[in-house]
A and B are shown apart, each in its own frame.
Chain A
Amino acid sequence: MTTEITMPQLGESVTEGTISRWLVKPGDKVNKYDPIAEVMTDKVNAEIPSSYTGTIKDLIVSVDETVEVGRVICTINVEETVPVASNTSVLDREPAALQPAEIGQKKRYSPAVLRIASEYNIDLALVRGTGRGGRITRKDLQLLLESGTILKESNSRLVQMKRDETVLNKDLQADQVPTAASIAREIEIPVAGVRKVIAAKMVKSKQEVPHAWTMVEVDVTNLVNLRKRLKDRFKQTEGFPLTFFPFFIKAVVEALKDFPQLNSMWTDDKIIQKKDIHISIAVATEDALYVPVIKHADEKTIKGLAREIHELAAKVRNKSITSSDMQDGTFTINNTGTFGSILSAPIINFPQAAILTVEAIVKRPVIIENEAIAIRHMVNLCLSLDHRVLDGLICGRFLARVKENLQSITIGNTPLY
């Protein structure tokens, strides 16, 4: 029978050897333990013997060739049977593992699972666990949150929103444990859900972004007059109201086209300027603030903007807003004037570069052309900017452009459609 001779391991840490000389050639008869080759390794140089008595058949590895331990170096026709170490007594069975009982794991919740369940108000009884014995794993909950099919309906949006947050995995500080004395005079309001997300997002923005702030005042008397003339018929025709807001958005979007620097975001090593203009607008509810997005706002008419504002606000109110409605904003406009505010210092909607507020339109005596005093409809526009991305000059020019766009509104050159 033909069998193989392999490169032996010559030394404890040796992994390969080089044939420095063959001492036999094909056809040579060798006895068991006769030297057949000289081998050189990192540790030793040695003659290697034949393990069999027989006739050398083929030399597989040539002189000066280096091969790994265990590679066949030659073949030999042997006259004897090849002894094989008996392994019959080696056990095949698995070692007895120290394993906890397989059953009854379903109701054993790890601290991590309990924390997530409590944070997102998840009813664990409704969750199917994939761990051993049906145990709910942390990953089970994470997948549930990511899929959005959370079991408490009221939390679905919040879950989606949370997904958008870069703060998702940031461990928020646990609430202070109240002392007995403090309990009587205070009301404890647990921080959870949207409130918690808002808090985290605001903290991140305020801590990370160097905010600068500036404001311009704009005479929107023309706009007020225009809207007054068109709004009733618009409502009648379109079925939704014509507010001031779409005009402001239009003026801002047009300015953003001219100053794309404001339509950008900061990353650690670069500033990313966005070609698409997606305007985030703030929509408040009683206890929270949502920021849905008007996609491609630069491609929309006043009417289109008005419709979208109307629809997004309705979605927020009836809680059907989804995470895709709130994604991809590039610049935020907040209509703070609706609360009567005339001055705000908004926090940038991270990671955008700037946010603009439209304050209340108020009638004020102002000095107009020819040193005359007139009663005009005035509005303040406030801008917070990421000073890493933007400087005052460009923002000043941007605001001037917005102002110009607003002040140039006339019935003749401002189409609604």
Chain B
Amino acid sequence: MPVISYIEAVTLAIKEEMERDDKVFVLGEDVGARGGVFRATSGLYEQFGETRVIDTPLAESAIVGVGIGAAMYGMRPIAEIQFADFIMPAVNQIVSEAARIRYRSNNDWNCPMVIRAPYGGGIHGALYHSQSVEAMFACIPGLKIVMPSTPYDVKGLLKAAIRDNDPVLFFEHKRAYRLIKGEVPLEDYTLPIGKADIKRNGQDITVITYGLAVHFALQAAEKLAEDGISAHVLDLRTVYPLDKAAIIEAAKKTGKVLLVTEDNKEGSILSEVAAIIAEYCLFDLDAPIQRLAGPDIPAMPYAPTMEKFFMINPDKLERAMRDLAEF
């Protein structure tokens, strides 16, 4: 099985789906000849031409809104928002339109569309190139939000998102793009949206997280294992709607739960995960639910000291995990 990077898995999934189904197309800023500012659509323009890999005017609401129109017609658009931070002008189209087209038409119309956007920090991206925006959308019934952590998951979940009959926000961690590599099968496969995945089995503490933080948790778990502490790591993969059953099972397994995100703490995905655990696992908890997240400041500053302060990292996870194990 070939080892490829996270971003190569993105490109591969799109390429395979465009080959499989001529209704699949890409639209966004700089996605054409340039192949995307991160090179996620690299080679697609050459292979499929400008009619299926569309450089749009610089206008996010139109990128999403035009995509919605095409999707309602029956196409399978993949809209790229260059940075998740720039999705804000399209929020009305995503929230008022894409998310409720099926519902408001009583199932007459639907909107099979993928909106991809790189998110996340640790790349000197400062306030407007580092953000996690998932929590803004993780309260909108009608949307699905996928945030994969590994190249294998990227390919399987992105293909599933493209084939999904409802709108999917697909957030890719931009630091993971080239940092994370992994084995990815050459053959066609999809992974179920809405299902979390156990990335490591353990007995003492449970870490529930998603995206790049999954790797931080796995690294920290290795270190703790040397001291005889066994960590269970659950990768949410889909952050909306959440996989309640998997969360409950993982929480009950050890009774000690650490939730990790690089988003701001208050109102994050973790808040909802904690609520689910609180609702269903009262009698299985052996410690208060713990959260490790960014501070509640607007976003990640540019200066390296402040960026590092904001960002979670394997050391911060290790400390939090050890602390919980000792509780």
Contact = CB atoms under 8 A, between A and B. Distances in A.
B278 to A, nearest CB: 12
Contacts of B282: 110-111
Contacts of A110: 282-283
A110 B282 CA distance: 7
B290 to A, nearest CB: 16
Contacts of A25: none
Contacts of B285: 111
A21 interface: no
A108 interface: yes
A144 B285 CA distance: 26
Contacts of A111: 282, 285
A108 B283 CA distance: 6
Nearest to A109: B283
Contacts of B283: 108-110
A109 B282 CA distance: 9
A111 B285 CA distance: 9
A42 B283 CA distance: 54
Interface string B105-141: 0000000000000000000000000000000000000
Interface string A24-48: 0000000000000000000000000
A45 to B, nearest CB: 33
A146 to B, nearest CB: 25
Nearest to B286: A111
Nearest to A107: B283
Interface string B283-308: 10100000000000000000000000
Interface in B245-295: 282-283, 285
Interface string A95-114: 00000000000001111000
Interface string A212-251: 0000000000000000000000000000000000000000
Interface string A318-337: 00000000000000000000
Interface in A103-135: 108-111
Nearest to B244: A98
A342 B282 CA distance: 56
A246 B282 CA distance: 57
A109 B285 CA distance: 11
B14 to A, nearest CB: 38
A237 to B, nearest CB: 65
A32 B285 CA distance: 66
A199 to B, nearest CB: 26
Nearest to A108: B283
A110 B283 CA distance: 6
Contacts of A108: 283
A111 B283 CA distance: 8
Nearest to A110: B282
A111 B282 CA distance: 8
A110 B284 CA distance: 10
B168 to A, nearest CB: 26
B262 to A, nearest CB: 30
A336 to B, nearest CB: 45
A110 B281 CA distance: 11
A342 to B, nearest CB: 51
A65 B60 CA distance: 54
B264 to A, nearest CB: 29
B192 to A, nearest CB: 22
A175 to B, nearest CB: 15
A110 B285 CA distance: 10
B253 to A, nearest CB: 18
A157 to B, nearest CB: 33
B106 to A, nearest CB: 15
Interface string A142-181: 0000000000000000000000000000000000000000
Nearest to B280: A100
A108 B285 CA distance: 12
A108 B282 CA distance: 9
Nearest to A112: B282
Nearest to B279: A98
A376 to B, nearest CB: 65
B187 to A, nearest CB: 39
A305 B285 CA distance: 56
A15 B285 CA distance: 49
A285 to B, nearest CB: 38
A111 B284 CA distance: 10
A329 B285 CA distance: 45
B323 to A, nearest CB: 13
A237 B264 CA distance: 82
A108 B284 CA distance: 9
Contacts of A109: 283
A116 to B, nearest CB: 16
B128 to A, nearest CB: 39
Interface string B19-42: 000000000000000000000000
A111 B255 CA distance: 13
Interface in B125-159: none
Interface in A57-82: none
A109 B283 CA distance: 7
A113 to B, nearest CB: 10
B291 to A, nearest CB: 19
A54 to B, nearest CB: 37
Nearest to B284: A108
6 contacts: A108-B283, A109-B283, A110-B282, A110-B283, A111-B282, A111-B285
Interface of B: 282-283, 285
Give the top 6 A-B pairs by smallest Cβ distance, nearest first: A108-B283, A110-B282, A110-B283, A109-B283, A111-B285, A111-B282
